[in-house]
Amino acid sequence: MKKISNNIFLIMLIFGSLITISANSWLGAWMGLEINLLSFIPLMNEGKKNLMTSESSLKYFLTQAFASSILLFAIILMMMSFNLNWMNNNFYELLILSTLLLKNGAAPFHFWFPGVMEGLSWINGLILMTWQKIAPLMLISYNINYNFFFIAIILSMIIGALGGLNQTSLRKLMAFSSINHLGWMLMAMMNNELLWLIYFVFYFFLSMSIVLLFNNLKLFHFNQIFNFSMMNPVIKFFLFLNLLSLGGLPPFLGFLPKWLVIQNLVETNQLFLLFISVCLTLITLYYYLRMSYSIYMLNFNKNSWMLMNNFSNKNMTFILTMNFFSIMGLMIISLIYLIL
C-alpha cells in the first residue's frame, strides 16, 4: 500500500513540474509549483522515520512555502501595476527572480539546501538536486535580469566551491556541488536558451550515476570511504573516475557541458566571468580529488578472507553501465562526430 501511495506522489510531483513548464500565466506556474511541493513532502518522509528526515521535510516546506507566498505576492503586484499603470516594473522582476532562486537553492538564497540534503535518503536527494530544479529554472529563463544574474552566478560559484571544502558528509558535499553547477546553468542561461538545458541534462545524468552508486554502497559519510579497502577494485575505480567527471575534468563526459559554456562565454567576450568560474571550479575539483584520493590511494590492511562481490545484483550492472558512459561519454560522442 505504501509503495502505491509513493508512486502516486511521484506522478503528482512530475505533473506539478510539467504544469509549471507548460503554463501560459504566472498564476498557473505558481499552482504547478505548489502541487510539486505538496507531493514531494510525503516522499521525503517515506522509509525509516528519524528526526533528521522530519527536520529536513519541515525546513523544506517552510522555505518553499515562504518563497511561494512571496512569488504570489509579486505576481499580484505585477498584475496590479499593469492595470494601474504603475511604473517601476524592475522591482517585481527582481522579487520574482529572487523567490525562484530561493526555490532552487541558488546563492545567496542557498542557506536551506545543504541542511535539507543532509536528512534525506540518496534517492530523495537526487530528486531534490535534479528534478526539483527544472520548474524554477524554466521560470527564471523567462525573466532574465543581467545584473542580478551576475551577482547570483558569482555567489553560487563561490559558495559551491568554498562550502564543500570542510565537509565530511557526502550528501552536504553533493549539495554544495549542486549549488556550483547551478551557477554554471545560470551562466549558460544568460546567453543561450538551449545551452542551460543541455547542461542540465548532462548534470542530471552524472548526478544520477554517482548518487545511485553511493546509494547502492550505503555511503553517507567521508569516513565510510576508508573501509573501501574491502571493496571491489573495479567499483572503486569507477567511483574515482565518476567523481572527476562530475567535477568537469577532461576527457570525461562532465567536461562537455562546461566546454560548451566556456566556448559560449568566449564568443560573447565575457572573459571576467569565465576566469572566475574556471578558478572556482578548480576548487570543487579539489574536494572531489580529496575524496578520490581517500578511496583509492591510501594504504590499508586488507583482509584476504573477506570476499565481497558487488556485481551480483542487477542494479549494480545498470549503475556501472551508467558510470561507463559518464567516464567514456565524451570520447564516444567525439568518435560518432568524426564518423558522421
Distance CA 340, CA 300 (A): 48
Backbone conformation region of residue 24, classed left if phi is above 0, alpha if psi is from -120 to 50, else beta? alpha
Distance CA 54, CA 45 (A): 7
Q: What is the pLDDT of residues 236-262, one digit of tens each?
A: 788 888 888 988 888 899 999 999 999
245, 286 contact by CB (below 8 A): no
- DSSP SS3 for 298: coil
Residue 145 above 90 pLDDT? Answer: no
Distance CA 276, CA 151 (A): 12
Residue written as cell 518563497? Answer: 67
As for how many domains the chain has, the answer is: 1
- Residues of the domain holding 174: 1-301+308-339
- Mean of the per-residue pLDDT values of the chain: 87
Q: What is the mean pLDDT of residues 29-47?
A: 91
Residue 315 above 80 pLDDT? Answer: no
The pLDDT confidence band at residue 330, using thresholds 50, 70 and 90, is: confident
CA distances, 17 to each of 9, 30, 307, 322 (Å) = 13, 10, 45, 25
Q: What does the chain come to in residues?
A: 340
Residue written as cell 549494480? Answer: 316
Sequential DSSP letters for 216-257? HHT--BGGGGGGGGGS-HHHHHHHHHHHHHHHT-TTSTTHHH
Percent of the chain with pLDDT over 90: 56
Distance CA 281, CA 274 (A): 11
Residue 81 above 90 pLDDT? Answer: no
